Amino acid sequence: MSTLVLFSNYKITSFKSMRKEELDLLIGFVRDNQTAAVDLSAKVGSLNADMTCRMVFGKKYMDEEFDERGFKGVIQEGMGYTATPNLGDYIPQLASLDLQGLTRKLKAISKVYDRFLVKVIGEHVQSSSSRDENRNKDFVDLLLSFMGSEETEFQIDIEHVKAIILDMIIAGIDTSAAAIEWTLSELMKHPRVSRKVQKELENVVGKDRMVEESDLDNLEYLDMVIKESLRLHPVAPLLLPHESMEDCIVNGFHIPKKSRIFINAWAIGRDPNAWNDPDKFFPERFVDSDIDLRGRDFQLIPFGSGRRSCPGMELGLTVVRLVLAQLMHCFDWELPDGTLPNELEMTEHFGIVTCRAKHLLAIPTYRLNKS
């Protein structure tokens, strides 16, 4: 369903004008605030949350419509509990005691999610008869249209709809934002690479207009920068847990059926057996290389590989490329308080999605010709 319907090329393209509207708001805000440092981590996080909400729910929701902790706050709290190693997973006899209280806390969070999802679905059902049939359908519309339908191969009920929506929101918001945040951080740290990205943008786009999505395929160097950033900072460093379907032997290790498997994409991206100078940020390593991000090349798997790899990859890459290109094309960036590029701290905050421990702040200067 994800591949054929939700993330088809047609569907991704149908949200192009929405992405432009949201990104233009951010660019406008930054242009109006050029004297102070912009909290890029917070701004990029909100931009992605807004884009994802409009695609999945058809509109943005105010924080207070969710819960007093706000939309992002609750999602992050839930993700935090999910990422915490749970004793009960390793010693099943202890699971029912819930010694860390994780099950109890997650159940409480799931009630908040559930209340919100019931409200969103209710709003869609109520307004379905009065809605314009030609308007662009959001994910909730699409999923509801499969429910109870005999004509489709996807047999789903309301609990599936809730689960899929939640999955999309959780998997979509922080991942793209963290990928943008890390790439911007590496660009701030490496002015040579930043200048080269801006030079490419000047050649492809010119300084008289902003970037359009149709320009993205011509930005080859930016693609290398993104690959290099995802190699060093795979936003889901351990991917998602997998389970072996049958007994198998990998590199001489016996893996019994039904084992829980973690793939350390972070370590693979920095493995000296797979990469020369692995700790160096050097996008040019991808010149004349056919290593891509799609999971064919096992030394670079930020989206996983195979059937359970990320279904939102094309969409995620479109957003990451577009936002980075626009921010780098429209502005020069300087670190605040006289911080030198090589002094920028890169400490990670570990979670299922690993973002920066400290927000990335930078001072913008508008650089296009047109006012």
Residues 306-345 that bind ligand HEM (CB under 6 A): 308-312, 315-316, 320
Distance CA 120, CA 101 (A): 29
Q: What angle do the packed helices 139-146 and 102-127 form, to 10 degrees? A: 80
Phi, psi for residue 350 in degrees, rounded to 5: -70, 135
**Cα–Cα distance between 270 and 257 in angstroms, integer?**
29
Q: Are the C-beta atoms of 275 and 269 separated by less than 8 Å?
A: yes
Binding mask 223-262 for ligand HEM (x = CB under 6 A): ------------xx--xx----------------------
When the beta carbons of 26 and 169 are compared against ligand HEM, the nearer one is 169
Two tokens at 251? 């590199």
| Residue closer to ligand HEM, measured from CB, 74 or 315 | 315
Closest distance of CB 235 from ligand HEM, Å:
5
Considering only 71, 286, 303, 333, the residue that binds ligand HEM (CB under 6 A) is: 303
> Was 248 annotated as part of a binding site?
no
User: Does the protein bind ligand HEM through residue 364 (CB under 6 A)?
Assistant: no
Nearest distance from residue 47's CB to ligand HEM, in Å? Answer: 13
d(C-alpha 355, C-alpha 175), whole Å: 9
Q: Nearest Cα to 166, choosing from 139, 141, 142, 190?
A: 139
Which is nearer to ligand HEM, 312 or 364 (by Cβ)? 312
82 binds ligand HEM (CB under 6 A): no
Q: Provide the 10 A C-beta neighbour count for residue 196.
A: 18
**Neighbour count for residue 122 (Cβ, 10 Å):** 10
Nearer to ligand HEM, 187 or 364 (CB): 187
Residue selected from 47, 121, 179, 232 as contacting ligand HEM according to rule CB under 6 A: 179
- Told to check if 175 binds ligand HEM by CB under 6 A, we report yes
Cα–Cα distances in Å, from 46 out to 129, 166, 182, 228, 299? 31, 17, 16, 25, 32
Binding to ligand HEM in span 109-168, by CB under 6 A: 167-168
For the record, the structure tokens of 228 come out as 């290099």
Q: Are 183 and 328 within 8 A, CB to CB?
A: no
User: Does 176 contact ligand HEM by CB under 6 A?
Assistant: yes
- The whole-angstrom separation of Cα 176 and Cα 235 is 8
Considering the complex, state which of residue 234 and residue 364 has its C-beta at the smaller distance from ligand HEM: 234
Q: Which span (69-77, 115-123, 198-206, 298-306) binds ligand HEM, by CB under 6 A?
A: 298-306
Contact footprint for ligand HEM (CB under 6 A): 52, 167-168, 171-172, 175-176, 179, 235-236, 239-240, 302-304, 308-312, 315-316, 320
